[in-house]
């Protein structure tokens, strides 16, 4: 009965994505005579789908921000993770409802009203971001609430699925990323980075396509030679092999390893085998120059694709003969391709 009262709340209406509700029983709510049920309910709702299985995977003490800006609930568990606690209250009826857009867990009591400092205790596993202070006037054109929530959702999911380095880089680059309308990220997992692909750490911006939300289906429709602008000024990614039955698509000669690793309303992440090598395009446009994809508009590019077309059909690039997603046997089109490995690993 209290849920419809949230429709007039600016914080709630700013978020229209999937949510998780930790639902107190009627009896527990009736026992709190001084509680404002709508206010209490906002502190029991978190953006994103947190099933019981997913909650068990979270590190002890993970903080999850609620619909009330600047207020976080803390996820803890018993030693064997047989019991999960939200704000110190046990989940007694897990996955009470789940339709793919809303997850509801029944809890034993209710979460006590959260402190304004509930997000201030920073740990490795806490996800908190700066909010505007209540007494400050919002800046016109400032970061929308939805993007802020999507960033937090992406960082949490990446960190818990083997992409901790990328999650950390997104936190470091938070002021820059929050200003984007959406983004596509090509990610290297932690194991690959620690196995030798250190150059990814200093070139994360080269692996982010700003203001474009590209799923694997969108990427596979791109033709050979299509360019994707990145956050790194003056540097673009190039589709070097189009998706086909004979060979998977390649961007900068690297194959996508895990398509759609993580996707929400604003961010799409795809896993790749290796850091992208840098391809310096020819300065002289050729006849039949290929196309570029910039902010949803097709235009003319400068990368010649005559030999790249033949590469996409070459059996030398068949997926069954690959181990690391790269293909050394591909005929190189008339562009200068180099792989830059920087010694500076602090350029997140």
| pLDDT digit string, tens, across residues 66-104 | 888 878 888 888 888 889 999 888 999 999 999 888 899
pLDDT at 95: 93
| pLDDT digit string, tens, across residues 107-148 | 988 888 888 777 765 443 444 443 333 344 444 444 567 888
Collapsing DSSP to helix, strand or coil, 86 comes out as: strand
| pLDDT digit string, tens, across residues 140-168 | 444 567 888 888 888 888 887 888 889 98
pLDDT at 133: 38
What would the mean pLDDT of 188-198 be, rounded to a whole number? 86
Q: What share of the chain is helix, strand, coil (3-state, %, to 5)?
A: 25, 25, 50
Give percent of the chain above pLDDT 70: 69
| pLDDT digit string, tens, across residues 23-35 | 998 888 877 777 7
Give the predicted TM-score (pTM) of the model. Answer: 0.50
Highest mean pLDDT among 8-12, 269-273, 307-311: 269-273
Name, in order, each residue with C-beta under 8 angstroms of 246's C-beta and a sequence gap of 6 or more. 312, 313, 315, 318
Angle (CA) 93 98 103, round 5°: 70
pLDDT surpassing 60 at residue 345: no
More confident of the two residues 39 and 330: 39
CA distance 19 to 315: 46
| pLDDT digit string, tens, across residues 36-49 | 787 788 889 888 88
- Mean pLDDT computed over every residue of the chain: 74
What would the mean pLDDT of 196-203 be, rounded to a whole number? 85
What would the mean pLDDT of 309-331 be, rounded to a whole number? 43
List the end-to-end C-alpha distance of the chain, in Å, as a whole number.
47
- Helical H segments across 205-270, by residue range: 216-220
| pLDDT digit string, tens, across residues 258-269 | 898 888 889 999
pLDDT surpassing 60 at residue 9: no
Nearest to 266 by CA among 228, 207, 209: 209
pLDDT surpassing 60 at residue 54: yes
Whole-number Cα distances in Å, 22 to 49, 60, 153: 11, 18, 17
More confident of the two residues 161 and 285: 161
Name, in order, each residue with C-beta under 8 angstroms of 2's C-beta and a sequence gap of 6 or more. 37, 38, 41
pLDDT at 195: 83
pLDDT at 14: 55
Give percent of the chain above pLDDT 90: 21
Collapsing DSSP to helix, strand or coil, 129 comes out as: coil
């Amino acid at each position: 009965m209290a849920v419809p009262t949230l429709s007039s709340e600016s914080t709630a209406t700013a978020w229209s994505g999937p949510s998780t509700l930790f639902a107190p029983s009627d009896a527990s709510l009736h026992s709190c005579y001084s509680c404002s049920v709508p206010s209490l309910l906002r502190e029991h709702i978190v953006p994103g789908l947190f099933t019981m299985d997913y909650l068990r995977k979270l590190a002890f003490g993970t903080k999850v921000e609620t619909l009330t800006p600047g207020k976080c609930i803390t996820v803890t568990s018993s030693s064997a993770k047989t019991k999960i606690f939200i704000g110190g209250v046990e989940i007694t009826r897990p996955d009470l409802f789940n339709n793919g857009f809303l997850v509801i867990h029944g809890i034993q009591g209710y979460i006590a009203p959260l402190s304004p400092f509930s997000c201030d205790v920073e740990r490795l596993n806490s996800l908190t971001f700066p909010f505007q202070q209540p007494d400050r006037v919002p800046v016109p054109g400032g970061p929308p609430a939805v993007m802020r929530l999507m960033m937090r959702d992406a960082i949490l999911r990446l960190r818990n699925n083997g992409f901790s380095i990328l999650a950390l880089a997104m936190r470091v680059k938070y002021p820059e990323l929050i200003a984007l309308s959406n983004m596509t990220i090509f990610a290297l997992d932690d194991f690959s980075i620690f196995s030798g692909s250190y150059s990814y750490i200093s070139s994360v911006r080269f692996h982010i396509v700003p203001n474009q939300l590209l799923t694997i289906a969108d990427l596979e429709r791109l033709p050979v030679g299509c360019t994707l602008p990145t956050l790194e000024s003056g540097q673009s990614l190039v589709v070097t092999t189009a998706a086909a039955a004979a060979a998977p698509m390649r961007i900068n000669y690297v194959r996508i390893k895990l398509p759609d690793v993580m996707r929400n309303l604003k961010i799409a992440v795809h896993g790749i085998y290796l850091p992208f090598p840098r391809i310096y395009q020819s300065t002289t446009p050729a006849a039949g120059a290929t196309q570029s994809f910039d902010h949803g508009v097709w235009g003319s590019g400068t990368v010649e694709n005559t030999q790249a077309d033949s590469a996409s059909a070459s059996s030398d690039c068949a997926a069954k003969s690959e181990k690391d997603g790269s293909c050394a046997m591909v005929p190189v089109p008339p562009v200068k391709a180099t792989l830059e490995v920087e010694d500076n690993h602090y350029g997140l």
